[in-house]
């Protein structure tokens, strides 16, 4: 037989596009349309429904950027349509290729009842099935004219990302407002042909099945009368019955489809718009669940559920009903799908505490999976946090975006820094927006790396990013793919069911140890510096607020601010969403974030000051409150007292120009350019810096990545560097222990103050940058005379090591990485640390000098200036604090990292304040002291081993103890945990490396 595949396939495409799809709606009549444009921000539903609209015609422009327009559509079903299925077709001006990224609508009845959402892939509203004829139709559409930020030519700077700069030009053209007859038989024919056509394209050319399908499709097309598609659709479908009924082979890959709508809690839209996106999507999904008995939909991010509850109670009622039926499934157990690299230890824990508690309180449901399909890499401390929250699984898809190396597994156990292993799945479909296309499912089967030992994967199915969710077309396709020869099998299942089956099938999968590093989006560790500073400082203010409020509550009866702390925590957690904290959202989002962080700082400082005042009492004794987890200048951790003074610092003129600072521990030389040319460790009799290489050096790179401006920094940025060595002025500080340097470069200015305080083993670097560059990358470099093949980087509840070399492509790909408060590197007998108060991105490189020595250079990332999606990213004044700590062991790095983030607070009072809880080993770091969330008055203390070794320690409570219970993160007793030995107020603990423990202390 002659090969006519191309002929039949081309025929299928044209007939589908030009004859069969248009016949789905064979008859239509226009609706009358009127519109009211809400002034300013969105209005309550009742106000929108009550407004008086003005007539508008199809073809008219509408919708200023970020505006809200209330359309009223009215009409009557023609009498001649009696007995038929009728739908309203409501096209606001959609581009079908941009679901979630443009205008959207939520349809209401006149009584305010939500019907369903409108988006580019969901433009219909069912009127009746069947209709009687003559029915009056009256619908209202709350339409959001969200502008297109990421267009076909992506990453173009635009003022549309903030309502303050977006202007008022209408964004959309009203395209279609009709009543139409819906021919379900033709619609089913469309789905039959789409499924078979997509399947056929994925089968081998020489496969019998491909030719069987091809001939069936050809017979089907022969049976369609192109002048009477509606009258011949059933006859055409009959030609496909046999090929659609052929069952899958027993070895077919099995796909668990999970209805899904990944909704970014903010990205190319502000937070307030996400509230409405969630309402539209949940309205659609609850309606779809009523129509499709096998469909299951899962939604993560407790914050989004809370928004529905607060802002759309009528939608919430439908959601609760569907949850009770087990088909609308809470997923993930986190407050938001957060970034996991940058959130601190407690914040990462609280993501699970607040997320899981919401689902428990509202539905009595506990999640056992972390659901993070789009997060930009995963910190090595995360597995034990997942376990400590009572969960045991992780799902993500994002690692498939890595540019350099392909991850070797799709199902595996992920081992964190303490040895905890979490059963993890990367869906091989390689998208969290699966639409049940044959190419997607075939890719999942081909791509699956665990063949031979497993054959089960998950497919998050539905339009996402900007929402929309699963469509009836996807469900219809899945029904055909449930058991179809040549295709993976498809079944709708909740995440828990998938994970249970996958783990049973593959009980001993391979193990991946350490971080799950995304080889992409590395610049998100630096973009939008103010957002990152707001996060870091909010985390530490929350620590202080809980610590001092709990101490004051136990000691003085101070009213513990449960509700205020709960609200603030949830706000901070929201802003850790994986496009807010990473700095990849529009200008509006970050403008609001800056204001929010400032407001939270004011509120938290108020709580701290009130609690400290209650603790200090009346008096004139000078007190220093130490919120760090280590004793500082004689003041105990978590207490207050009068600090001890130690030594003094001298400043001298340097031979050849510049200054010398010395305090008996360190001798620091700063040359006439304001560069640190020597840091001599007096105690160790050793120079920290390599010959001729200054520290505290600012370096400027061009920064224009190939894609994803705010997200990416590409390796070639290093090819060009400008050392900022010219100084405008270098002057000695009046305090006798600092030097001030000012520099100018481009359109920007920088001031650095280098300080060496008495008795300290750290050189403090305060940097203020008035930044007015674009597409530039600013780094702060510390070359060190250290031979180290690896360095330590702080992460949640510990640290982990990365190599300083680039032996393999995996190591070379980590040319920009994340740390929290410190970086540490050492050779036997001597090390050094670089600590910071608000930066995350860094790089570490090593070279061998002509003298045979090794230079290992730590460079912290300060600022970028991408122009998309915020064209004014980080313009203005920024302040950073870093310190170089020569001679530091890992314990010194841990201590100094906490210290620089928790500055002392000074008050006068009656006398010393004893800590509420102490640990007698520096390796045991207490990350939280608080009152139990249930209001019982119990004290909760969370701590971990921070040095990477085993330790024994004694915790001492500063109050009489009645009982000590080991709990999970949600403060619930762990049934299999052995109680620690208690002697009076002393609690003996033994910890493995990096082990995390939460204790609940009941007061006597």
- Which residues are registered as beta bridge partners of 700? 722, 778
- The rounded distance, in Å, linking the Cα atoms of 781 and 752 is 13
Q: pLDDT by residue (tens digit) across 687-715?
A: 999 999 999 999 999 999 999 999 999 99
pLDDT per position as a tens digit, 653-691: 999 999 999 999 999 999 999 999 999 999 999 999 999
**Helix H or strand E segment including 61:** strand 61-62
Tokens read off for 512 = 């991946």
**Residue 632 DSSP class:** B
Mean pLDDT confidence for 458-471: 96
Terminal Cα-to-Cα distance of the chain (whole angstroms):
90
Query: What burial class does residue 111 get, using C-beta atoms within 10 Å of its C-beta: 0-12 exposed, 13-18 middle, 19+ buried?
Result: exposed
Contact between 748 and 769 under an 8 Å Cβ cutoff? The reply is: yes
Residue 646's pLDDT is 80
In whole angstroms, give the CA distance from residue 608 to residue 538: 13
Q: With a threshold of 0.95, does the pTM exceed it?
A: yes
Residue 533 three-state SS: helix
Residue 775 and residue 855: Cα distance in Å, rounded? Answer: 29
pLDDT band at residue 645, thresholds of 50, 70 and 90? confident
Distance (Å, whole) CA 736 – CA 489: 75
What is the residue-wise DSSP string for 212-249?
Answer: HHHHHHHHHHHH--TT-HHHHHHHHHHTTHHHHHPPPP
- The residues pairing with 325 across neighbouring beta strands, listed in sequence order, are none
Identify whether the C-beta of residue 638 lies closer than 8 Å to the C-beta of residue 548.
Answer: no
Residue length, the chain? 1004
pLDDT value for 3? 85
> What SS3 state is found at 667?
strand
Span 542-564, mean pLDDT? Answer: 98
Task: Please state, rounded to an integer, the average pLDDT across all residues of the chain.
Answer: 97
List the catalytic residues: 374
- Does residue 1 surpass a pLDDT of 70? no
Which whole number is the average pLDDT over 550-558? 98
The tens digit of pLDDT for each residue in 247-262 reads 999 999 999 999 999 9
On whether the CB atoms of residues 107 and 117 are closer than 8 A, the answer is: yes
Q: What is the pLDDT of residue 721?
A: 98
């Amino acid at each position: 037989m002659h090969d006519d595949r191309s002929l039949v396939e081309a025929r299928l495409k044209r007939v589908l596009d030009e004859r069969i799809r248009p016949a789905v709606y064979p008859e239509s009549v226009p609706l009358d349309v009127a519109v009211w444009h809400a002034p300013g921000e969105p209005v309550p539903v009742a106000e929108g429904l009550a407004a008086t609209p003005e007539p508008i015609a199809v073809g008219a422009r509408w919708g200023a950027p970020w505006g809200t327009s209330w359309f009223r559509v009215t009409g009557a079903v023609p009498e001649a349509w009696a007995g038929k299925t009728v739908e309203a077709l409501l096209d606001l001006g959609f581009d079908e290729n941009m679901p979630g990224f443009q205008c959207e609508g939520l349809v209401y009845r006149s009584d305010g009842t939500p019907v369903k959402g409108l988006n580019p892939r969901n433009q219909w509203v069912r009127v009746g099935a069947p209709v009687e004829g003559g029915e009056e139709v009256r619908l209202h559409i709350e339409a959001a004219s969200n502008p297109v930020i990421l267009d076909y030519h992506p990453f173009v700077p635009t003022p549309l990302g903030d309502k303050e700069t977006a202007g008022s030009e209408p964004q959309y053209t009203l395209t279609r407002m009709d009543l139409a007859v819906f021919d379900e038989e033709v619609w089913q024919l469309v789905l039959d042909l789409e499924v078979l056509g997509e399947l056929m394209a994925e089968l081998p050319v020489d496969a019998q099945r491909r030719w069987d399908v091809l001939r069936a499709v050809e017979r089907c097309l022969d049976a369609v009368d192109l002048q009477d598609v509606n009258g011949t659709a059933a006859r055409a479908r009959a030609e496909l019955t046999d090929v659609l009924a052929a069952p899958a082979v027993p070895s077919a890959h099995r796909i668990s489809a999970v209805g899904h709508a990944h909704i970014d809690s903010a990205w190319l839209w502000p937070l307030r718009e996400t509230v409405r996106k969630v309402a539209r999507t949940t309205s659609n999904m609850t309606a779809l669940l009523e129509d499709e008995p096998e469909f299951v939909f899962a939604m993560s991010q407790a914050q989004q559920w809370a928004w529905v509850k607060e802002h759309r109670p009528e939608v919430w009622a439908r959601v609760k009903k569907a949850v009770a039926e087990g088909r609308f499934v809470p997923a993930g157990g986190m407050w938001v799908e957060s970034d996991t690299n940058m959130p601190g230890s407690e914040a990462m824990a609280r993501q699970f505490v607040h997320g899981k508690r919401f689902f428990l309180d509202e539905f009595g449901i506990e999640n056992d999976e972390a659901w993070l399909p789009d997060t930009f890499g995963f910190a090595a401390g995360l597995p034990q946090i997942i376990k400590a929250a009572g969960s045991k699984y992780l799902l993500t898809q994002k690692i498939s975006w890595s540019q350099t190396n392909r991850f070797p597994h799709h199902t595996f156990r992920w081992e964190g820094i303490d040895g905890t292993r979490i059963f993890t799945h990367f869906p091989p479909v390689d998208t969290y927006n699966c639409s049940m296309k044959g190419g997607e499912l075939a890719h999942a089967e081909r791509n699956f790396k665990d063949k031979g030992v497993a054959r089960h994967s998950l497919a998050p199915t539905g339009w996402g990013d900007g929402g929309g969710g699963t469509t009836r077309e996807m469900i219809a396709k899945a029904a055909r793919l449930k058991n179809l020869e040549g295709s993976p099998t498809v079944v709708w299942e909740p995440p828990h069911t998938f994970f249970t089956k996958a783990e049973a099938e593959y009980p001993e999968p391979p193990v991946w140890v350490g971080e799950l590093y995304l080889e992409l989006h590395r610049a998100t560790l630096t973009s939008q510096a103010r957002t990152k500073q707001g996060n870091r400082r909010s985390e530490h203010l929350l620590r202080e607020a809980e610590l001092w409020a709990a101490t004051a509550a136990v000691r003085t009866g101070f009213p513990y601010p449960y509700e205020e702390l709960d609200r603030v925590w949830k706000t901070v957690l929201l802003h850790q969403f994986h496009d807010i904290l990473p700095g990849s959202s529009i200008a509006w989002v970050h403008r609001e974030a800056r204001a929010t962080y400032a407001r939270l700082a004011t509120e938290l400082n108020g709580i701290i000051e009130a609690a400290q005042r209650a603790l200090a009492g009346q008096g004139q004794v000078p007190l220093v409150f130490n919120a760090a987890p280590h004793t500082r200048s004689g003041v105990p951790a978590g207490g207050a007292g009068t600090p001890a003074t130690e030594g003094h610092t001298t400043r001298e003129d340097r031979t050849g120009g510049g200054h010398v600072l010395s305090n008996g521990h360190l001798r620091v030389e700063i040359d006439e350019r304001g560069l640190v040319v020597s840091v001599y460790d007096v105690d160790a009799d050793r120079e920290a810096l390599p010959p001729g290489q200054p520290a505290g050096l600012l370096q400027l790179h061009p920064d224009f990545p190939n894609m994803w401006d705010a997200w990416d920094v590409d390796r070639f940025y290093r090819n060009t560097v400008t050392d900022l060595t010219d100084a405008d002025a270098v002057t000695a500080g009046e305090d006798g222990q600092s030097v001030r340097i000012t520099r100018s470069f481009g359109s920007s200015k920088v001031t650095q103050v280098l300080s060496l305080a008495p008795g300290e083993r750290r050189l403090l670097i305060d940097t203020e940058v008035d930044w007015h560059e674009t597409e530039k990358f600013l780094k702060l470099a510390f070359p060190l005379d250290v031979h180290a093949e690896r360095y330590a980087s702080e992460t949640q509840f510990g640290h982990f090591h990365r190599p300083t070399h680039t032996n393999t492509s995996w190591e070379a790909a980590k040319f920009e990485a994340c740390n929290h408060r410190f970086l540490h590197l050492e050779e036997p007998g001597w090390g050094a640390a670089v600590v910071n108060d608000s930066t995350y991105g860094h790089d570490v490189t090593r070279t061998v000098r002509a003298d045979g020595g090794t230079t290992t250079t730590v460079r912290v990332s300060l600022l970028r200036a991408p122009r998309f999606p915020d064209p004014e990213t980080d313009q203005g004044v920024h302040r950073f604090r870093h310190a170089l700590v020569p001679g530091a062991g890992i314990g010194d790095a841990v201590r100094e990292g906490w210290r620089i983030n928790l500055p002392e607070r000074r008050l006068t009072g009656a006398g010393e304040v004893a800590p509420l809880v102490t640990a007698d080993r520096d390796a045991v770091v207490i990350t939280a002291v608080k009152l139990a969330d249930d209001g019982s008055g119990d004290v909760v203390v969370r701590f971990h081993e921070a040095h990477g070794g085993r330790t024994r320690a004694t915790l001492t409570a500063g109050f009489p103890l009645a009982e000590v219970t080991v709990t999970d993160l949600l403060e619930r007793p762990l049934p299999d945990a052995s109680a620690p030995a208690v002697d009076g107020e002393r609690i003996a603990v033994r910890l493995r490396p990096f082990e995390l423990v939460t204790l609940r202390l009941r007061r006597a």
